[in-house]
Amino acid sequence: MKESVMHPNERRVREILNIVHSGRVSGKGLEDYFTPDAYYQPLVPAVAPIVGPGEIVAEIARQLTVYKDLHAEIHIIMADDAHVFTERTDHATFADLGNKRVSVPVMAVFDFTDGLITAWREIFDTRAAEAQIGVDQKAMSKIMGQ
């Protein structure tokens, strides 16, 4: 059986997800994975893109104040020189909402140029998250930073 070799961009995405899911993103060098004009859109199309490495890390840090014990269960990951696609289930605990554990399917696309991320876009079913957390659409928008 032929041994598979992980594409460098897949390795970078896995590293980023590990940093994010460690629960602490500040001081971990996460900014170094992005081009200066990179953007992160955590919920396409409902949330506007966050532009710039510092702003991206700040948004992820904000998200980590809302939930804890984050874990990404990657189901499929495909990578080439320009893109990485992931299908995963994110599991997280919402401490301020009675320690509810939520599992949400997520699709994400990472665009790359010369080994750096130029865009990171995610989409997930907010209604599924709302139902598991026990909140309405307005409360979910607040959770998403809108």
**100-113/34-41 β-pairing:** unpaired
Whole-structure pTM value: 0.88
Band the pLDDT of 145: cuts 50, 70, 90. low
What pLDDT, in 10s, does the model give residues 59-96? 999 888 888 888 999 999 999 999 999 999 999 888 77
What DSSP assignment string belongs to 82-133? SEEEEEEEEEEEEGGGTSEEEEEEEEEEEEEETTEEEEEEEEE-HHHHHHHH
Band the pLDDT of 114: cuts 50, 70, 90. very high
Residue 28 near residue 22 (C-beta atoms within 8 A): yes
**Domains of the chain with bracketed CATH:** 8-144 (3.10.450.50)
Q: Is the pLDDT of residue 1 over 60?
A: no
Give the neighbor-by-neighbor strand order of the sheet with 68-79. Answer: 50-51, 34-41, 116-124, 100-113, 83-94, 68-79
Mean pLDDT of the chain: 89
Residue 105 near residue 94 (C-beta atoms within 8 A): no
